[in-house]
Structure 1
Amino acid sequence: MIRSLPDQYLTPEDLVILLRLPSVETVYQWRRKGTGPRGFRVGRHLRFDPQDVRAWVDSLRERAA
């Protein structure tokens, strides 16, 4: 469970570490399917706002309850 997120924008690699995902490809699959946290591009680089990641995790927890 994510207790605290950094104040900076997150990379797909950061999500792999924070959420203990099997690979960065999981993040890109979520993006293609529209099921993961909202992300945005900075040039060709994908970034995630920590607040959006938190909101997404919270929404998953609410659905599981």
Structure 2
Amino acid sequence: MGEAIECPFLTAEEAAVFLGLQKRTLDNMRWKGTGPRYRKHGTRVFYHPDDLTFYSNSRDCHSGPKIPEKSGRDFG
């Protein structure tokens, strides 16, 4: 027999764990079209780790120091 081929794709359950989400949340995101890119092989849904990483990186939030806005008035 030949060697087993390792599949690079993750199931929805595995992808949810990868992203730290509940599977139901990931399913809802897919239904709404707001989640990460996915593939369908027959009726099954799969995610590639690179697509999950890209999706996660696109959600990066910066919480740096806030710079006060100038009001236009000078109180100096």
User: How high is the TM-score relative to the length of structure 1?
Assistant: 0.74
Unaligned runs of 5+ in 1: 1-6
The aligned residue for residue 53 of structure 2 is 54
| Counterpart-to-counterpart distance in 2, 1:52 and 1:20 | 15
The aligned residue for residue 28 of structure 1 is 27
The aligned residue for residue 8 of structure 1 is 8
The aligned residue for residue 41 of structure 1 is 40
The total of aligned residue pairs comes to 56
The aligned residue for residue 3 of structure 1 is none
- Counterpart of 1:57 in structure 2: which amino acid? S
Unaligned runs of 5+ in 2: 1-6, 63-76
Max radius of gyration: which structure?
2
Q: CA deviation at 1:27?
A: 1.0
User: How high is the TM-score relative to the length of structure 2?
Assistant: 0.65
Q: CA RMSD in A?
A: 1.5
- Counterpart of 2:58 in structure 1: which amino acid? S
Higher relative contact order (CA 8 A, sep 6+): 1
Identical counterparts, % of pairs: 30
